[in-house]
Structure 1
Amino acid sequence: MVRGAEVGADPDTVFELVADVARWPQFHLSAVHAEVIHSDEGGERIRYWALDGDSAVRTWQTVRRTDRPGLRISFTYVEAEAPATSVRGTWVFTESERGRTRVELHHEVVAPADADLGPLLDRIGRDAAEHLETLRDTAERRTELDDLVVSFTDPLFIAGSVEDAYDYLYRADLWPERIPHVVGLDMTEDVPNVQFFDMDTKGPDGGTHTVRSVRICLPPRLIVYKQISLPAMLDAHTGHWRFTETREGVVAEARHTSTIKPSALSLLGSGTTVGGARRFLRRLLSGNSMSNLTLAKAYAEERAGF
């Protein structure tokens, strides 16, 4: 199975967008999280999490081999989805003309002769088409997105245990009791450490805003989130809470990456520029994050006896 697309960007740029799996969740609608869990001379073992509808997550692992000089990225699924016994693929990047790239995504699926591969092949085809369209859009808008994407981290030291710091932010179901700007939250966790919730927050204008998010929780080091229904001024919002142990305690880090929706700038007032929207988002999101981290710090330090 082969899917292809013409992209108005040079091959190196397009190649790097595919190679950098950590960036996929910001630009690809279904991607939630991806991370390299092992790397050696045989390649990188990568685990992916992706939305399956708006209330479930699929996860899988591949072994990926990256050939930068040859502009090829190959991958093999560690466990093929039944009824397939093997699934592998290759990204191929070819300069079609100066500043343009022909991208092809190849899949090879092996299964018993009597297997019904129809549903699996249909999904692979849909996913490939969506990935290629996302890739094309992201590559061709790369200069614009440099201005529209706001990404930052805020760290805070906590003189307590990583388990307590993690638990405070993991227990999102308790946020309406614990965090002042959260006025309501309805959470489900049908699969351990995969959370979906609808959260009502009070904005600086006094109004209430509702967003739906998915979170992948990897105790006690990381909680990754993606908003899947968004505030009116954003095209995407992802982030994480990361917890790093030190000899003295733990450094908790909040990260936000938001993509501004250009057509919604007027929501912040007539004449608002992208620069003004960037400053507004940084102030708002950083303020909320530091408030949450400060509350987590107080909780963990009180339990540690400080």
Structure 2
Amino acid sequence: MRNEIKHFLYGIAILLLIVAGTDVAKSQNATDLRINEILVLNDSNYVDDFGKHNSWIEIFNSAYSPINIGGCYLTNDIDNPTKYWIPIGDPATIVPPRGYVVFFADGKPTRGIFHLNFTLEDAETIALFDANGRTKIDELKITQPQQIDVTYGRIADGGETWNFMDHSTPGANNDSSRKASSGEKFVAIDPYGIGMTMIAMFVVFSALAILYVIYKNIGRFFVGKATASKNAQAPEVTGKTVKAEVEMSGEVNAAIAMALYLYQSELHDQENTVLTIQKVSRNYSPWSSKIYTLRKSPR
């Protein structure tokens, strides 16, 4: 039993290590990063941490795990893929799941790791390359004339359709329109709650059925273990079967009969006293007669 528990715990530990390793591998996969929104002509729009209006590029993490963008490259020249190397080792370069990071294309990299060494005024393309400097993760070709303080981005975060945006959303969701919540969608589909009731009942009874099967199999397992242990402890009988009844000799029977006779004959003590009751000849009751209480006169 102890060995089985140890093996079970070892299996859980190995599974946790595999899951953790998968998460780490996913967190280092930069192929899910997307160029999501840009602003080339910034006159009175988003400002950087120095209060300056500069061109900026928004990168979106389309994955559901964090990605470290450190070590990757940003460029405005496809022939020079390693133009700006994003420093590593800074926690700010870790893009959260479905999160954003904004780089300022001001040509002043000395202002921080999010300030690029190029601008976007004359750029025809923007590209993001992997840490090896050869694998292109995403590319945006600027083919339309840009407007002042109007951003150009994906209609939906990480989507394929690009257009000029009604609202600039650096570090936020591009689609700022109101969407129906999951509850509202469900109410529209099932206004009377019949479907929800059926789903709830199905979930509850399914859980009960699963628990029944689990506990039944567990009970069978432990009962089988107990039976096997009991059979292992029982002595093995080999050869001829021993007779259940042993034949007794005549001397033993006679001794038993004598003991029973003595026991029955000595149940009561020997009584030597004899009581004799004589009937009174008088018709009246001697108990109420007073003559027996009178003193006899001497003669």
| TM-score category, normalised to shorter length | under 0.3
Task: Return the TM-score normalized by structure 1.
Answer: 0.20
Task: Return the TM-score normalized by structure 2.
Answer: 0.20
Higher relative contact order (CA 8 A, sep 6+): 1
Which of 1 and 2 has greater Rg?
A: 2
Structure with higher strand content: 1
